[in-house]
């Protein structure tokens, strides 16, 4: 069985979680780390036992030993770094948000398809058994006809001009950082809405810090979404139908408890989880490469593009 040699671009906060997730996936090895700071790359490589580290990204993408690269730089750099990987025919898994807008993403997916190189958005929740469980419950009408969903994600973050969350240059904002999760869940579970309403509170620099979004569907389904850097929200997804409710409990975007509530009571329907949650996207990427696939059927390019189109639409409504 092949061992997949991973490289990481951008060894920051989330890259640590990813490297820990990698340790629990069979046939996965962290082989090299690249950073704009060779010291940061060295420290990260030492911590996780990676044999190579680089102070430039080009050295990583030109290393013939690397099978697949995970991009964990700030949002503004995803397009540039994914493009660098693709131009060197390196399979690539890129953190969310995939890019800053739809035109950038279309360029990447076009290159990937032309070159037949694997490319996937690392929207970790999509790969979790929790999302598959909830989708199955809805499709089998376990709660009847869905009439309402409330999905939120928010926490109070002290303002800091240096933080990537509040920086226009680094692609900050609540929608791209956390609001993307409820939007993806709504699109994945219910498809495209008929109408959207959205409101944003923005900083003086134009960064959205408090977002409310309503998706209206046919058959009287309303999905209410909140994302905030100014309020501590429950971070839950509550889906209500004519015959019950599905409750994805606090920190629903992580491996979470799931309850199915119907006339007979409350049932814990949480799936079995393994690893730290990042292992699912890693295993999926390796499965795709092992099977010569250029995209994932769980997170296909078409879904990433759909999601990005909706993020663009929401910003346009609120501009
Ligand atoms: N999936 C998840 O659960 C999850 C959670 C949090 C974040 N994320 C995503 O992961 C990405 C990174 O987030 P993070 O919190 O890990 O970020 P971070 O620690 O602040 O930075 C990650 C890397 O980005 C580069 N970087 C940071 N600040 C920069 C600046 N001012 N100018 C240029 N490059 C800069 C650095 O790369 P070098 O070391 O190469 O210089 C740094 O190591 C974001 O796209 C975010 O949306 C995902």
Give, using CA atoms, the residue closest to atom 4 of ligand 1: 14
Average per-residue pLDDT for the chain: 98
Rounded average pLDDT over 64-83: 98
- Map out the domains of the chain with their CATH numbers: 4-123+278-294 (3.40.50.720), 129-272 (3.30.360.10)
Q: List own/partner pairs for 163-167 with CB under 8 A and 24 or more apart.
A: 164/74, 164/75, 165/207, 165/229, 166/203, 166/205, 166/207, 166/209, 166/229, 167/207
Q: Is the CB of 12 under 6 A from ligand 1?
A: yes
What pLDDT sits at residue 80?
98
Q: Is the CB of 203 under 6 A from ligand 1?
A: no
pLDDT at 134 over 90: yes
Q: State the pTM of this model.
A: 0.98
Q: Is the CB of 121 under 6 A from ligand 1?
A: no
Rounded average pLDDT over 48-67: 98
The DSSP bridge partners found for residue 211 are 200, 227
**Residue 112's CB: how many other CB atoms inside 10 A?**
22
* Calpha distance 160→31 (Å, rounded): 34
Q: Is the CB of 164 under 6 A from ligand 1?
A: yes
Rounded average pLDDT over 230-257: 98
Give, using CA atoms, the residue closest to atom 8 of ligand 1: 14
Contact 176, 75 (CB under 8 A): yes
pLDDT band at 102 (very low <50, low <70, confident <90, very high): very high
What pLDDT sits at residue 126?
98
Query: 16 C-alpha to center of ligand 1: Å?
Result: 11
Contact 71, 82 (CB under 8 A): yes
What pLDDT sits at residue 1?
76
pLDDT at 208 over 90: yes
Query: 5 C-alpha to center of ligand 1: Å?
Result: 21
Q: In this predicted model, what pLDDT tens digit does every residue of 145-175 receive, in sequence order?
A: 999 999 999 999 999 999 999 999 999 999 9
- The DSSP call for residue 225 is E
What pLDDT sits at residue 58?
98
Q: Is the CB of 14 under 6 A from ligand 1?
A: yes
The candidate with the shortest Cα–Cα distance to 106, out of 318, 312, 310, 305, is 305
């Amino acid at each position: 069985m092949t061992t997949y040699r991973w490289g990481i671009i951008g060894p920051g906060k989330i890259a640590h979680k990813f490297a820990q997730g990698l340790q629990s996936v069979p046939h996965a090895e962290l082989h090299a780390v690249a950073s704009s700071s060779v010291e940061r790359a060295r420290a990260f490589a030492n911590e996780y036992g990676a044999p190579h580290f680089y102070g430039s990204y080009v050295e990583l993408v030109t290393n013939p030993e690397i099978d697949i690269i995970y991009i964990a730089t700030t949002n503004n750099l995803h397009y540039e770094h994914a493009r660098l990987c693709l131009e060197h025919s390196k399979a690539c898994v890129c953190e969310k948000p995939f890019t800053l807008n739809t035109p950038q993403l279309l360029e990447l997916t076009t290159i990937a398809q032309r070159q037949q190189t694997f490319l996937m958005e690392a929207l970790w929740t999509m790969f979790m058994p929790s999302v598959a469980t909830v989708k199955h419950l809805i499709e089998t009408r376990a709660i009847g006809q869905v009439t309402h969903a409330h999905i939120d994600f928010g926490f109070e973050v002290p303002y800091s001009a240096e933080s990537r969350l509040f920086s226009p240059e680094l692609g900050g904002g609540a929608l791209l950082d956390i609001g993307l999760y409820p939007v993806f869940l709504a699109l994945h579970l219910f498809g495209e809405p008929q109408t959207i309403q959205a409101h944003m509170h923005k900083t003086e620099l134009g960064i959205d810090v408090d977002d409310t979004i309503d998706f209206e569907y046919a058959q009287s389904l309303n999905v209410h979404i909140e994302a905030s850097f100014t309020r501590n929200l429950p971070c839950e997804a509550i889906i209500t139908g004519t015959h019950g409710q599905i409750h994805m409990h606090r920190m629903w975007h992580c491996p979470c408890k799931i309850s199915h509530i119907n006339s007979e009571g409350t049932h814990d329907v949480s799936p079995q989880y393994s690893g730290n949650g990042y292992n699912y996207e890693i295993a999926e990427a390796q499965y795709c490469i092992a099977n010569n696939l250029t995209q994932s059927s769980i997170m296909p390019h078409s879904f990433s593009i759909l999601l990005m189109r909706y993020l663009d639409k929401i910003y346009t409504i609120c501009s």
